[in-house]
Structure 1
Amino acid sequence: MIQRMEAAPPELGRLRNVALIVGIIGAALTALGAVLDTRQFFFSYLIGYVLWTGVAVGSLGLLMVHHVAGGAWTLVIRRILEAATRTIPLMLVLFIPIAFGIHQLYEWSHEEAMAANELLQHKAPYLNVSFFLARFAVYFIVWLVLAYLLNKWSAEQDAQAETRALEGRMQRISGPGLILFFLTVTFAVFDLIMSLDPEWYSTIFGLIMATAWGMSAFAFAVTIFIYLRQTEPLRAVVLPAHLHDLGKFMLMFVMLWSYLSFSQFLLIWSGNLPEEIPWYLRRMSGGWQYVSLGLVLFQFAFPFLLLLSRDIKRNPRRLVAIALFLLAVRWLDVVWLVAPEAHREEYRSAFHLHWLDLVAPLGIGGLWIAFFAWQLGRRPLLPRHDTLLEKAFHPAHH
């Protein structure tokens, strides 16, 4: 029963076609927006890029956690995570507009701005265009190599009856791989988001975003898993216990993101330093304070209370609704991080939500999901010959 894994379910074809249509329409509208308002286009594109890069790269982190921990329950979403990591080459291609938009996005890329600010002059060895692009080359090399090796060995596992050596290999690379993951994600979000305000800094920001990217990736994986749960071979083996475990892990991400975000706010607010506090002041005035409150309610309080329920975690419709809700709130969170910097004064930023802030993420997301669905359909939905298969689908108690 577990061995019948070859046929790609038709649901993946439908998902790919719908996503491709949405992606093409969204990309066309985004291109129109680039002509109408070039500066706004780059900020809106950055929102979509950060959101979907988070799903792709966050999946890589979750995949390595799976191999290090060896948990049987994560086996049900392993192929979803692997397919998501195979979209990282697409994110490399989609980085090209960011590279062309550096001067539109980042104040530090202008020599006159650096010359007029003594603090920025001290950061010039790090904040310069050449080093920015070189760093992203390193990030993508690390992500691509890790994704390639884990996917290569996983494919070899399907073809071999004795796979303990391959499992050990994936586990051994995932340990140091997780260290590289946190380092690269930390510096990538420093570069993409934190340097939008080059005077602001937070040592915990990288960990917050790594958690947020993990939350995005996990919510997406849960959504796809529940969407496909009635197809073969998942229909024959999925148990309520699997949904319950996925719900608990989603609750963990909600709690960890909330704890880290509050810690950052508390430390910066109590420190009251002139380099740090304006970043929060812009998000607590001009209408952005309501978005801040919404994030507290919708990315913490609301999902936290719902995911405490055992019945909700075991109900596929309710669990997928929470996962989709978290993905939508993740978009709002990225808007909150990026958009105030597009129209900021020293301590204020009036609330401004452009139509491109929605269209650009939809365009990028549609193309990304279409590519993901194609990749997911190329391999069995469950890994063959994994030593955890029997444990995953025949637990001692449900």
Structure 2
Amino acid sequence: MNVGEATYNPPTIVDRYQRTALIVGLLALVLSAVVSFIFGGAVAFFRSYLVGYVFWCGVAVGSLAIMMLHHLSGGAWGLVVRRIFEAATRTLPLLFVLFIPIAVSLFVHPVVNGHEQSLYEWSNAHVVETDPLIKAKAEYYLNWWFFLIRTVFYFAVWGALAFLLSKWSREQDRTGDPRLKGWMQNVSGPGILLFGLTVTFAAVDWMMSLEPHWFSTIYGLLIMAGWGLTALAFTILVASILARHEPMDHVFQPSHFHDYGKLLLAFVMIYAYFSFSQFLIIWSANIPEEIPWYLRRLRGGWQFVGLAVVLFHFALPFVLLLSRTLKRDYRTLSRVALMVLCARVIDMVYLVSPAFVHEGEAPHFNLLDLLTMAGLTIGIGGIWIAYFIRELKSRPLLPVNAPGLTDALAMTGGH
């Protein structure tokens, strides 16, 4: 096959997926928002929205990280899915717009049963004035204007990296200039460093500061690994759909999915390692600034959610992904990837929802919160997927002039 002469446009079925995703997303978003505001209030909506937002932001930003790792390593595994990574990273402008409700939450503090409620405690002036620790943090870091400046900076860094890599990849398609590969490698090196720094601070700002008295030095690594896992699982799902239709049904080989399965196993293990390390250190230290975070999540039914995360986020995927046969079959591998994505949503709920258990209040499940979190995750996801498909359709599914593509298409794997 002459790669340069072949046509690798997305199959027409993706148009149907795009329409369906947009319709379902808009309906789920509107319905969940209405239900949340009516029965739970503004803060209930904001915390449910945060779960869905951070999950889908992880797909885009995690894709950027894996794409940069591929540019640095040069492995054949990444060439046939590069367009999926690039399309995901080009959704960052949409995610920037979708951050607006979280920004608005900084200024919304409804009074419920005589108490002001907030998504972020540190954004409430009354809490800041009555809590010395939060007041000290608010003076130099946890305040609304610096929070928003940092968020703009994160998106500027991610957007610039995505723009350059996507632009040069398209230019490589057009001209075949061999220098472009070096340019992408040169940007990806410092880009990985910037990714690590920005995601760490974003994790602290968006997630860890929900409980401003608590801190964990490994939390940024935990979110980083989780976003990489989310992005890779999503990529496997998209690749498995494309592998069912022309022209990619002749491109994807079992060896490609075998590699993706091994990478998925690695990310599952890395996330489990960081998560267990955090638990072991905090539980062993047993100091009052840290241990309440886990106590909230080991009572009132949340311990069963934690067990579900252990089972579906690590134990079951780990056992299944040990199978060579499973990894080489895109159908079974895609089911494992879907399970991992569902487990990632459960993990986001586990990280966010218990943060709103107030002093003296027994931890408990809030079924309304769980339903609206699921609905808003689907709603944001539907809009995001529709935009992702739009970007995926804008270019050929293969980087036709990328060095090594012919070898990547011919790879069969040794074991």
TM-score for both structures, normalised by structure 2: 0.93
Q: 1:26 to 1:52 in 2, by over 3 A?
A: same
1:59 aligns with 2:74: no
SS of equivalent residue, structure 1 residue 308? coil
- State which drifts further: 116-125 or 82-91: 116-125
2:75 and 2:362 map into 1 onto residues whose CA distance is 47
Aligned counterpart in structure 1 of residue 381 of structure 2, from 350, 361, 365: 365
Q: Residue 137 in 1 paired to residue 152 in 2?
A: yes
Distance in 2, Cα, partners of 1:386 & 1:41:
45
5 Å-filtered alignment, 1:20-31, equals 20-31=22-33
What's the CA shift string for 1:26-56, capped at 9, x where partnerless?
A: 1221331353122211110001101100111
Q: Does 2:230 align with 1:228?
A: no
What's 1:121 paired with? 135
Query: Which of 304, 309, 322 lines up with 2:336 in the alignment?
Result: 322
Choose from 191, 197, 219 the match for 1:177: 191
Answer whether contact 1:72 1:389 (CA < 8 A) is retained.
yes
1:278 alignment partner in structure 2: 292
Is the counterpart of residue 381 in structure 1 residue 383 in structure 2? no
Matched, 1:392 2:408: yes
Q: Specify the code of the residue in structure 1 equivalent to 2:188.
A: S
Question: Against the structure 1 CA distance between its residues 386 and 346, is the aligned structure 2 distance closer, same or farther, given a 3 Å change threshold?
Answer: farther
Q: Is 1:167 the counterpart of 2:181 in the alignment? A: yes
CA distance in 2, matches of 1:396, 1:57: 30
* Alignment partner, residue 45 of structure 2: 41
Q: Which residue of 1 aligns with 2:92?
A: 88
Q: State the shift of 1:15 in Å.
A: 1.3
Structure 1 alignment gaps of length 5 or more: none
Residue 97 in structure 1 maps to residue 101 in structure 2 = yes
Q: Does 1:334 find its partner at 2:336?
A: no
Partner of 2:278: 264
1:11 and 2:13 aligned: yes
CA distance in structure 2 between the partners assigned to 1:397 and 1:216 by the alignment: 25
What do residues 63-109 of structure 1 show as CA deviations (whole Å, max 9, x unaligned)?
11110111111112110000000000000000000000125310011
Offset of residue 396 of structure 1: 6.4
> How many Å apart are 1:12 and its aligned residue?
1.3
Letter in 2 for 1:13: D
- Cα distance change on mapping 1:347 and 1:69 into 2, 3 Å: farther
The percent identity for this pair of structures is 50
How far apart are the structure 1 equivalents of 2:388 and 2:82?
Answer: 14
How many angstroms apart in 2 are the aligned matches of 1:137 and 1:119?
26
Please say if residues 64 and 175 of structure 1, whose CA atoms lie closer than 8 Å, have aligned partners that are also in contact: yes
Tell me the equivalent position of 2:114: none
Match of 1:301 in 2: 315
Indicate yes or no: 2:72 matched with 1:68: yes
In structure 2, the CA distance between the partners of 1:307 and 1:240, relative to structure 1 (3 Å rule), is same
Q: CA deviation at 1:258?
A: 0.2
Q: For the Cα contact (< 8 Å) 1:47–1:338, is it kept in 2?
A: yes
In structure 2, how many angstroms separate the alpha carbons of the residues matched to 1:65 and 1:34?
40
Q: How many residues align?
A: 397
Verify: 1:356 aligned to 2:367, yes or no.
Answer: no
In 2: Cα distance, 1:154 partner to 1:323 partner: 27
8 Å Cα contact 1:59-1:218 kept in structure 2: yes
Query: Following superposition of structure 1 onto structure 2, how do residues 107-118 of structure 1 map, counting pairs within 5 Å?
Result: 107-118=121-132
Q: Is the Cα contact below 8 Å between 1:281 and 1:347 reproduced in 2?
A: no
CA distance in 1, matches of 2:358, 2:255: 48
Counterpart CA distance in 2 for 1:350 and 1:6 is: 51
Worse-superposed segment, 278-287 or 334-343: 334-343
Q: Could you report, residue by residue, the CA deviation over 1:114-163 in whole angstroms, capped at 9, with x for unpaired residues?
A: 222222222121111111001001001001101111110011011013x3
Tell me how far 1:346 sits from its aligned partner: 5.7
Query: Which amino acid in 2 is paired with 1:132?
Result: F
For structure 2, which runs of at least 5 residues remain unmatched after alignment? 109-117
Give the 3-state SS of the residue equivalent to 1:42 in structure 2: helix
- Alignment-mate amino acid for residue 154 of structure 1: S
Is the CA contact 1:47–1:357 (under 8 Å) kept in the aligned structure 2? yes
Q: CA deviation at 1:111?
A: 2.0
Q: Relative to structure 2, which stretch is displaced further, 79-88 or 108-117?
A: 108-117
RMSD: 1.4
Q: Offset at 1:239? A: 1.3
Residue type of the alignment partner of 1:275: E
- SS in structure 2 opposite 1:105? coil
Corresponding position: 1:147 with 2:162:
yes
CA distance in 2, matches of 1:329, 1:344: 26
Cα-to-partner distance string for 1:314-369 (whole Å, 9 max, x where unaligned): 11111000001111110000000111123333685212232211111010000000
The 2-side partners of 1:40 and 1:101 are apart by 11
* Residue 199 of structure 2 corresponds to residue 197 of structure 1: no
Q: Say whether the 8 Å CA contact 2:83–2:397 is kept in structure 1.
A: yes
- SS of equivalent to 2:411: coil
Amino acid at match of 2:256: H
In structure 1, distance between residues paired with 2:243 and 2:34: 39
Using the TM superposition, name which of 354-363 and 212-221 deviates more: 354-363
User: Residue 64 of structure 1 contacts residue 177 of structure 1 at CA under 8 Å; is this kept in 2?
Assistant: yes
